[in-house]
Chains A and B, each alone.
Chain A
Amino acid sequence: MSLFDHKLADLHDLLHKKEITIADLVRESYKRIEEVDGKVQAFLTLDEERALARAEELQQKLGSDEGLLFGMPIGVKDNIVTKELRTTAASKILGNFDPIYNATVADKLHSADAITIGKLNMDEFAMGSSTENSHFAKTKNPWNLETVPGGSSGGSAAAVAAGEVPFSLGSDTGGSIRQPASFCGVVGLKPTYGRVSRFGLIAFASSLDQIGPITTNVEDNAYLLEAIAGLDPNDSTSANVNVPNYRSALTGDIKGLKVAVPKEYLGDGVSEEVRQSVREALKVLEGLGATIDEVSLPHSKYGVATYYLLSSSEASANLARFDGIRYGYRADNAENLIDLYKKTRAEGFGDEVKRRIMLGTYALSSGYYDAYYKKAQKVRTLIKQDFEKVFEDYDVIVGPTTPTPAFKIGEQIDDPLTMYANDILTIPVNLAGVPGISVPAGLSEIGLPLGLQIIGKHFDESTVYRVAHAYEQAANHNMKPEL
């Protein structure tokens, strides 16, 4: 049994009863990484020396009423900048980037006395659904090393599933926390847009990006969100909305709660075993006293097209900063400044990143702006209105996280459109800006995890957590891979 089979509150008790030390927790992490990361390849950078020193330092400070994250080891996705700890966004262009400041979430973790174990692999600049677009390594799914962990936060989900760290942070632009959480059998939440500061998150699509927690259980997830959420003067899109005590929402009581199931989320594109797992989950929720109705989100099928136009357009602007001048990779032998930009970017970016920069540049270019970019912004309004309409009458929307369980490494990498379709059920949530969670919902026939997605109203993570927790406790899947 691993220490990380305990939930956060129990680890906290063990620390205070002096049954374990903080160094035990940190060593447990590095020991497990040593054992399995050669196979899983979740981590890009480790920070062992400093983590162990910090463990000793915090152990001296340990009093009687420390916060819950005190001394807890955590992994951080590599697009979240961490001061003096290499941050690459899994790109060659940032291969040696040594940040001079902390992202707000990294500062908050530090203030809560959590200990950063290392930085986690991802698709380059968070563009992808399999973590195969990383410049450095292909992370494997701990449930089956021939399948992908999902993406783009594949390292963050795989590390938690493999027991390398008990919790991690990911980021989600179109499903990049929820889809890998689903594929790896862990819990991942994308908060409401504006709930968590994006300051220090290397920007992909600024109107969609959110940082969120990945954990083995819902309760830990709620603790972690509480620690990182809130208004930040350094992010003008972070919202001035009170952060509630999410743990108090975990009552197990969902009697009378109104659950909507969009028919589009159980349609033809979704595999039968995924649909079956959702039907079983709905029975569990019904058994707990919730009412279930079928509804429609009629514009869902336009989500993927809308998303790729908008996110690529935003990315083409955001990634203009990587030019080889102030930081990052710089190409040799440039004849002049323009040549330097072009060579640096051609050598520094991978294919998927180039594809999206060009798609975005095209969609924003003169003559095409109205036809593509503005059109997509208008369809985004329709998608957002779909959710608003359903939430007039319902508390949460429930469906699958992904149309299928994890696919094989290499299977979709040459076909961008097939790869993009993985996110068909998660993308509309980002476009509408509402919160969504993926919780484990059992295993497929061949033993791969399936996920249940629960979507809530703006800033109503409490209800999302309440339903996720009630389902988790009642269904009791208790999933853990053999590695």
Chain B
Amino acid sequence: MTKITKDEVKHVAHLARLNIDEQEAEKFAEQLGSIITFAEQLNELDTENVEPTTHVLDMKNILRDDKPVDGLPREQVLKNAPDHQDGQVKVPTILE
């Protein structure tokens, strides 16, 4: 069984921008450990000479015409923003 430590879970949670407490870290460590262990059954397969599949259909470089189009009206864009002021999205301090 692949062990995932609480510290690893906390690190991953930080990367994923999720706050978690001690209790959650413990629970997720156990659950993620068993999921990863389950996933390791893929190592039974020799995939040395197998190409990875990122997309099932054979298409590439789908481009649109390079023509300017109107953007969305500002009030529409801000309609769902939790906080805004003077036509701008408002966020907490970025620079300390």
Contact = CB atoms under 8 A, between A and B. Distances in A.
Interface in A345-364: 345-346, 349, 354-355, 357-359, 361-362
A377 B54 contact: yes
Contacts of B1: none
Nearest to B20: A346
Interface in B10-44: 12-20, 28, 31-32, 34-36, 38-43
A358 B50 contact: no
A339 B13 CA distance: 13
B4 to A, nearest CB: 8
Contacts of A308: 35, 38-39
B43 A358 contact: no
A365 B15 CA distance: 9
Contacts of A320: 17
A376 interface: yes
* Residue from B4, B9, B51, B52 whose CB has the most chain A CB atoms within 10 Å: B52
A4 interface: no
A252 interface: no
Contacts of B34: 416-417
Contacts of A337: 91-94
Interface stretch (A109-117, A264-272, A328-336): A328-336
Contacts of B94: 336-337
Interface residues on B, range: 35 or more
A215 B7 CA distance: 48
Interface string A238-275: 01000000000000000000000000000000000000
A48 B42 CA distance: 50
A306 B64 CA distance: 32
A279 interface: no
Contact of B59 (A239, A339, A382, A432): A239
A354 B54 CA distance: 24
Contacts of B28: 354-355, 358
B91 A305 contact: no
A215 B47 CA distance: 40
A138 interface: no
Given A194-B57, A336-B93, A416-B35, A330 B82 contact: yes
Contacts of A45: none
B53 A302 contact: no
Contacts of B54: 207, 377
B80 A377 contact: no
A458 B82 CA distance: 43
A391 interface: no
B66 interface: no
Contact of A379 (B16, B31, B42, B81): B42
B96 interface: yes
A290 B43 CA distance: 39
17 contacts: A98-B79, A193-B56, A233-B64, A302-B45, A305-B41, A327-B80, A330-B83, A334-B92, A339-B92, A345-B19, A358-B13, A362-B8, A372-B39, A377-B54, A381-B47, A416-B34, A458-B56
Interface of A: 96-98, 100, 193-194, 207, 233, 236-237, 239, 299, 302, 304-306, 308-309, 316, 320, 323-330, 334-343, 345-346, 349, 354-355, 357-359, 361-362, 365, 372, 374-382, 384, 416-417, 431-433, 458
Given A302-B42, A325-B82, A381-B50, 17 more contacts: A100-B79, A194-B59, A207-B55, A236-B62, A239-B59, A302-B45, A326-B80, A326-B81, A330-B82, A342-B14, A343-B19, A357-B16, A361-B15, A377-B52, A416-B34, A433-B56, A433-B57
Interface of B: 4, 8-9, 12-20, 28, 31-32, 34-36, 38-43, 45, 47, 50-57, 59, 62, 64, 72, 76-77, 79-83, 89, 91-94, 96
